[in-house]
Structure 1
């Protein structure tokens, strides 16, 4: 990305248009539709760059810029409410230096010296939906969302259903607008999602979305059934002052019957503010609700009044955001999961915490070395700190990356926390768990007798890139595997299910989750998958190291199941023509090749494969039309530097013409294309008498 300082006017204008549209769309999705399309971190990055461009090119900061707007326009679904006092957003800060700058700006504005007393408050920034409650004569007469700051949505009837919101006040000013945040606790969020899933309804990504979607319902009965809560922390229009300071005003709201946050405190200067930030961040996972930062405000309300407002934010407050991809929480336990290849994978069970907009309760721990604080080569990671149940750990998550443990706070380690001992036996079947030399992973040796491996292999078999059988997913596989009447214990059992169900008088349609139509659809989906392309079958077998790309390579090179099966049966690891042919395929190394060959030579696994294939019509992978191709059917090796095309392009063009591209030279090689720097492969070709040409000759051969 080009730095803003290096943009010319034309470039800046084009990028401004793109960024402004992206921020406006994000505002609409988040504030109006309650369905965010990008993470908070990505949104903040977009908006900060947009602001930087507008600072350098002020002419771009038009009245329509999203940097000058608050929230998004209220939905047409609700009646409109015009706020007597605007509901603004807060300036964001991300680094400690920005908090010092915030304090400096306020002191300059108020003409206060560096030694003058200036007290702030610090409070958790609740990640929910802003709400304004209007009381007249002590009675709740109106509740409105923030909307665009000027006009919000009337959600009065819905707000009345929230237990934390009083409908009457005693001793309040005649007119009082109380502002705060509607939110949902972690426990209530999990219970709501469980109910939604059981009812076949939409589940929510995080508590903020759940709270916003619940409050903005046309039917107040739906809102009443949702476990919403409310923290009060501010006010709008009021007929008389609540108190002389922010802290005392919050206490007054508490006395009136509102729930206020007990972590709110006074702080004397930036250093104390940062101490409060760190303490609240450490408590984040134990609060039971989501926060995404800490809000700092000037405590004395008369100074707030003097400082006033910018177009969209108050000068006297700032939100110090937590890093969106990091959070601290407690490691409750370490569990071991056994995968389809027997790998023992440690999983961290965490006290739930929201990271990057997603509630995280599990994280990968990779392997036993990672837990012990070392790499596979024995070098220290995390400064050599090991990971133990009970530890306070930092969780990292970026985008779709699986959450992982980034750090451990040893100062919070329980005195009785013992080093984790990685199991040497499989927790599922009791077989030895062996770690082979050079392998970072410990594996169960139980094979097909291990139920965990069997279940995971079946889940892989029906996955999207494999057989992809509609109506037979991971949940159904677990059900059938445990079933005693109609079990599925290996892939072949899937294709006998219909016949076995008929023999049992169609008992399947009487089970939970299955009716007559769903059973019919399942059997039809299974029948359709009896015809399967070779590459999908090879991938579905779940052979270690064989992913989609490798399965495609093998299918293209062998063409038919008969040819593939015969070659793997005849092959011997490390020797013989079949082994040479297999390892000569470009992209197939010795480790992958050995894994495939061994699968066909293990008696139980081979018998399972044979039983499966007996039910299938395996189709040859479609090959390109190669009529008249001078290299169709030939095995070609590229070596050295190609100057007119990349190696990937050369390989793709050769395969499109029907050639097999190998990674090494053997007696089966027909042609070697050698560019500058060709080394051992060229010498091997000379020794074997294989024809060798340069890149220009290759291009002439294939017609340019």
Structure 2
């Protein structure tokens, strides 16, 4: 086939496949069978292989992404992506309406839209072709995730018209995709995503676009960066334009003539949200007229012409079938409610922590009770209260046992503690939990050595303490259920890599009582080697900043124990690093870090760093990260949806940075 004929056929295939893709992923109304779409796609792939010089950036084959990136580039938004002020009640909505009327009078219309629970993104088209996509970031600067966004099939690579436009939307993971992803991760013994929003955000921030492509993400567009060249005069007309251009816009939007209509719309979707195949966490209400939006203007962080109504935590009723007891690595006995399966905030819940015996008594929880369940923070299931009026008289009071459910040792309640505790150091449950902790992400971070694998290795008596992990063989691993050659090789590589961790990771992994990740870093920096720490007296330990009497006693007791001494010897024999590999804080202080000696508070959602990463980097530069704002706070880092902590910082006139400013300072 000559080049002219090939070019013509390529254009025909582009148009056909883009049209069929739009019908399937945007209109949800395919006009051809999947097999026909696949046949045309294979035809296109074959033709592009024969004529690679003709592959266009908007070709349907360009959705799978290329090679993995080494990092995300920063992108500055042409128009800032502002966050929205929140409303939590009907009174808040009426107060918003009052403020709008005071500013622009009574002649205006609202436009209401579902608030999709996902990740805010910006898409840029030039002459109708998709050229760049980015995260919201701090609203001014985001990250370039173009390759990942191209994998979302509802995003057209070419618009129906040759517009140059920046549009905004919410990338999300449909409920079905979320359940499928978590099922696969559970089978692979990977950490589960807490909710679809986290799953979507995590997928779009993968450096390898093939991972994003495998996760079936979707996107709704909800706005235009700069309306100037569009000719539209209302937000609703802007949404109609986006649809005309071939972009996916949510169909459930509604114009409302009054705040009463807005409240009815909110009530409709407060009840109707479980029926959607995607998660929403509220309703966005905007003044429709663009001129009136401009007249109302913005505060420093939010527009005065829009507000987000946030749904209250969803509460459901189910039956409490049983109370199960588990033994933690420190011997604490934790009761867990076993529930009849029920859908709460988008996921099926069968278990909810009851924390301790006092809480069970306080709420008078009995076996067989009907209980109200919600997700605290829309993530962690908890029992809110008991429906006493639904009791039949057959419910049974629950009594905590006197002996450990795993090793049958007598339980004790230590002075000043609420929890019952097993103090038998040979308790199998404690040993198993301590092994899980040792391999966890914040400790030795041995990828692939999750709870199920450790459970199998422990039950087969292949590991009895942490050092045994480093003497596992390929033959032993292949005996395990669902452990193939590749999985065994990957796990052995991860175990080997963990030997090079810095001392603080090992100290945290050993599970010394009262020694958390921060204290482990402090100890590693101060003593530099495990031998120096092990030979240190209680008195010397108390001279270390942040080490109190309980921690000093726990550390000294740990290293005086003959069994733990043997464990350290075996870890040394396995080749585990026993020294601090980081740069000492005192040395960093000489760099004249901004954070040296300062108290910092992190609030809101960070998008470019995890909370732990930000905390670690600030503390490595001499700062102290705390959880609450007070007069002693020097700096607050405010991410997305920062709430009461930010308000208190502003009230106390404490310096506030966004995440981009933080990153700039850290890089310096």
TM-score (norm 2): 0.46
Structure number with greater CO (CA < 8 Å, separation at least 6) is 2
TM-score (norm 1): 0.44
Max Rg structure: 1
